Structure 1
Amino acid sequence: MGSDLGRRATAGSGAGTDSSAAGDSDLERPFLWWGSSGSLRRRGSGDLPFKPPPRRQSFRQEMGHAAAETYLITRLTIILLQYLGVGYRWISRFLALGFYAVLLMPGFIQVGYYYFFSKHVRRSVIYGEQPRNRLDLYLPLDTSTPKPVVAFVTGGAWIIGYKAWGALLGKRLAERDVIVACIDYRNFPQGTISDMIKDASQGISYICNNVASYGGDPNRIHLMGQSAGAHIAACVLLDQAVKQSKGEKTTWSLSQIKTYFGLSGGYNLLKLVDHFHNRGLYRRIFLSIMEGEESLQLFSPELTARDKSVEPAISYLPQIILFHGTGDYSIPSIASEDFANALKSAGAQARLVLYEGKTHTDLFLQDPLRGGRDELLEDIISVIHAGDAVALAKHATAPQARRLVPEWQLKLAHEISPF
C-alpha cells in the first residue's frame, strides 16, 4: 500500500427492461460468444480477452434513454418528499441541496454527457429479474489485457440511490485501467433493506461470473460502497462470509473479492437512528426501511463482527479499508472507526483512513470535480494496482484530470452542503 496511505491510516491488520437494455440486447448476454466454428459458446476463464461490441444506438435512442433516466430521478425525488412530509429540517436541507446542485452543475453536465454518450459506458446491463436490477459498466480505453474490477454500490439514504451516481468515480477509475460496475438496487419504498442486500449480492454475483466478457479479471474484483451503499455492501460481505463458513451453496465466492472499500459508511444502526432523525431522516421512515427496530442489530455490520458466533466467518473476509472524512456530519467518522476496531478485534484485516476536514460529499464529489490530484483516488489505485509495476508506472505518468467546476463554487458548495 502506498506510503501516503500508510501515513494517514490507523495501523491494523461487501423486471422490466428499459430502453437501453432493449437497445443493447447483445450486452445482456455477455457470457456468450461466437466460437471459431460459428457456434454460440459459453465463455470460459481460459478464453482470449474479449472486447465488448461497440454501441449501436442512435442519437434518438440515446436522448430517449436520457429522458427516461431523468424521469426516474425526478420520481425518486418526489417519493422522498412524500415520505419526509412537512418538517423544517428536511425543508432547509432541501433548499440547501438545490443551491448545492446549482453550484456543481457545470461538472454534473460534463459527467452526464460522458455517461449518456461515451462508447466506453455500458448502461443498464440486466443482472436480475427484479425492477432496478441493472448495472452500468465503465470500461478503460485499453482492453487488450484483463483489468481489475470495482463493484460499486451507490449511496442515497436507502431512498434515492441510483447507479448513475457512480458516473464520476467510474470515469476516473476507468481512466486508470480499472473496470467499474455500478450496481443499481431497489430503494425504499420499492423494497426494504433485505431487498437491497439481496439485489446488491445478485449484482456482485453477476459481475463475478460475467465480467471476463468485458475484459475484466474475475479474480481481481474489489467491492466498494459509499454512504448507504457502504452499509449495504458491508451487510452483503458479512452475510456471504457467514454462508461460506457454513458451507452453504452460493453463486459467487469471497475468494474473488480482493478488497472491500467502505466510503463514509454507517455500520451500527443502533447508534445512528437518533442521529439520522435529528438530521431529517425521521425515525419512523428509517425503521420502515430497516424492517423495524428489532432488526437494527441484525443489519448492523459492526455488531455482526462483534458477535462471537460469527468468528468462524471472519477468516473469509478480504482486506477491508474504510475511508471517512473527519468533517462528515451526515455519518460521523466515528462510525468507521468503531467498525474498524470491531473487525480488528475479530481478527479481520482492517484499516482506517481518515481525511482531515472532509465532509460527506468532499471525497466523492467536490474533490474529483476539482481535478488535479485526487487523494482518495490515489489511495484506491495504490491498493488495486499493488504489485503491478507496469500499471503503477502508467498511473504515475498519466495526465491529471482537468477541473470541471471553478474553485470558488466548490468552496461554497463545501460550506452549504446539506450532507
Structure 2
Amino acid sequence: MEATTSLPPVISSNNLVEQDPGSDSLFRASSFPSGSSDQRWRRRTSSLLARPTRQKSFGREVGHAAAETYLITGLSFKLLSYLGVGYRWITRLFSLVLYAMFLLPGFLQVGFCYFFSSHVHRSIVYGDRPRNRYKAWGSLLGLQLAERDIIVASIDYRNFPQGTISDMVDDISQGISYVCNNVVEFGGDPNKIYLMGQSAGAHISACALLQQAVKESSGDGISWSVSQIRAYFGLSGGYNLLKLVDHFHGRGLYRSVFLSIMEGEKSLKHFSPEIIAQSPGLHNAVPLLPHFVLFHGTSDYSIPSNESITFADTLRKAGARAELILYNGKTHTDLFLQDPLRGGKDELFDYVVTFIHSDDKEALASDAMASPRRRFVPEILLRLAREVSPF
C-alpha cells in the first residue's frame, strides 16, 4: 500500500443472468489486524462508503426486508408475464430451488454475518433510482476478502423488468463514481480501486468501464476517472451479445425476453464489450484502460468460456493489457459459489488477493500466514448442488 492509512477497495457487481436480482447497494466488510494504533483507529472509525451513522435497529431491518420482498415479488410476477409458460425455464426454476436448498447451510451463515456483523454497512443510498436489493453473492466475497484487510463495495443495479441494459450500466457507473469519490473517508485509497464482476455483473461492469474510458478520452465531463481503477477482474462473463442470443434462448432465456432486456437487436453491439473494444472510438481510450484479468471455467454451460477467450484476444489486439485464466472442469458457479463455500485453498481467491497486495510486502507476508478459509457447506451437499445446478 502506498499509505499506511489506506486499504485497497474492491468494487463487486455479481449476477448469474441478466434478469436475476443483484447485490444491493454498497457493501462494507472489513477487518483489521491488531497492531499499530493507526490500524486500531481504522477499526473504530471505518464504515465503507457511507458517512458514519447509527446502525439500523433489527426492527427497521425487518421492515426494510419486508418492503424489498414486496418489491421483488411484484417484479417477479411482472417477469412471469414476459416469460409465459415454458418448459425450459420451469425446469430450471425447479433446479434452482433444489440447488439453493443444498447450499442453504452456507447461505444462512453468510446471511447471519451480513445482518449482524458490525463490519457490514448495509443499504447505503447512492444515485436517484430504486434498485433490487439482493446481496448473497457479494456478501460471501466481501466477508472473505475482508479477512485479508480488503474493503469491498457490492454495487446494485436495477434488473429487468425494473430496468433495461442502459439503466443497469448507468447504475453501475454511478456506484463506481460513489466509491471513487468517497472511499478516502473510510480508509481506502481512491487511486487503488479494483473492479470485479461475475456473469452479468462482469458484462455490465465491462460496459461501464469501456464507455467511461471513451468519454474520458473524448474530454467529456466525468464524475470518476478510469485511471482510478487498477484492474478489472471478470468472472464467467459474456462479452459479445450477438453470439449469445441463440445460446440463451436454448437455455430458457427466450429471445424475445433477452431482446427486451437489451433494448432491441440493434442495441446488442452497443452493449457488447468485445465489439466496443474493436471500435475506432476506443483507440484513444486504450491507454486509460486498466489491466484486465478474465477468469472462466471450461465446463461453464451458462456462458461458454470462449466468451472470455475471444474478449481477451480482442483486448490484446486493441493494445490493452489482458490476461486469461481458464479453470479446467469448472462450471458457471464453481468459481464464485461452490469453491468459496468449500473453504480451504481457492486458486482464484488467492490470485485476486495476491494481485491486489502485489506492491505491499507486509500484506503478502500476512497472507502467507493466514489460516485456511473455513468450510460453510459439507462436501456431499456441494456435490449434490453441482449435479442439480441450473447454471
* TM-score over 0.5 for the pair: yes
Q: TM-score range by the shorter chain?
A: 0.7 to 0.9
* Structure 2: gaps (5+ residues): 1-23, 28-40
Q: Does 1:301 align with 2:300?
A: no
Partner residue in 1 for 2:15 = none
Partner in structure 2 of residue 191 of structure 1:
163
Which residue pairs with 1:43 in the alignment? none
Assess if the C-alpha contact under 8 Å between 2:197 and 2:205 holds in 1. yes
Q: Deviations over 1:348-390 (max 9, x none)?
A: 0000011111111111110111011122111111111111111
Match of 2:46 in 1: 51
Residue of structure 2 aligned with 1:352, choices 304, 317, 324: 324
Structure 1 length normalisation: TM-score? 0.79
Q: How many residues align?
A: 348
1:280 CA drift (Å): 0.5
- Cross-structure match for 2:37: none
Query: 1:161 touches 1:187 (CA, 8 Å); kept in 2?
Result: no
* Distance in 1 separating the partners of 2:341 and 2:256: 35
1:54: Cα distance to partner? 7.1
Where do 1:3-152 residues align within 5 Å? Answer: 51-52=46-47, 53=52, 55-132=54-131
Residues 338 and 283 of structure 1: CA distance in aligned 2, closer, same or farther (over 3 Å): same
**Counterpart for residue 255 of structure 1:** 227
Alignment of 1:134-173 (within 5 A): 162-173=134-145
CA shift for structure 1 position 273: 0.4
Whether 1:216 aligns to 2:188 is yes
**CA 1:91–1:311: 2 relative to 1, 3 Å:** same
Equivalent pair of 2:107/2:136 in contact (CA under 8 Å): no
Aligned-partner residue type, residue 92 of structure 1:
T
RMSD over equivalenced CA pairs, Å:
2.0
Query: Hey, what's the Cα distance between the residues in 1 that align with 2:331 and 2:196?
Result: 18
User: Residue 247 of structure 1: CA displacement?
Assistant: 1.0
For the 8 Å contact 1:162–1:185, the answer to whether it is kept is: no
The percentage of counterpart residues that share the same residue type is 65
Write the distance in 1 (CA, Å) between the matches of 2:357 and 2:74: 39
User: Which AA in structure 2 matches 1:110?
Assistant: Q
Decide whether aligned partners of structure 1 residues 88 and 408 sit closer, same or farther in structure 2, where only a CA change above 3 A counts. same
Per the alignment, residue 383 of structure 2 pairs with 411
Using a 3 Å threshold, how does the CA distance of structure 1 residues 412 and 248 change in structure 2: closer, same or farther?
Answer: same
Read off the aligned partner of 2:93 and give its amino acid letter: F
Secondary structure at the aligned position of 1:258 is classed as strand
TM-score by length of 2: 0.85
CA contact (8 A) 1:197 1:232 kept: yes
Alignment of 1:359-378 (within 5 A): 359-378=331-350
Kept in 2: contact 1:62–1:117 (CA 8 A) = no
Aligned to 2:270, the other structure's residue is in SS state coil
What amino acid does structure 2 have at the position aligned with 1:314? V
Q: How far off is 1:69 after superposition?
A: 4.3
In structure 1, distance between residues paired with 2:202 and 2:55: 34
Q: Deviations over 1:49-89 (max 9, x none)?
A: 65334743333233333444444454454444332221111
Q: Which runs of 5+ in 1 are unaligned?
A: 1-19, 22-26, 28-47, 133-159
Partner-residue secondary structure (3-state), 1:306: coil
Q: 1:277 aligns with which of 249, 256, 281?
A: 249
* Mapped partners of 2:75, 2:365: distance in 1: 42
1:185 touches 1:196 (CA, 8 Å); kept in 2?
A: yes
Q: Which amino acid aligns with 1:174?
A: A
Q: Distance in 2 between matches of 1:288 and 1:324?
A: 27
Q: 1:328 to 1:79 in 2, by over 3 A?
A: farther
Distance 2:220 2:203 in 1: 23
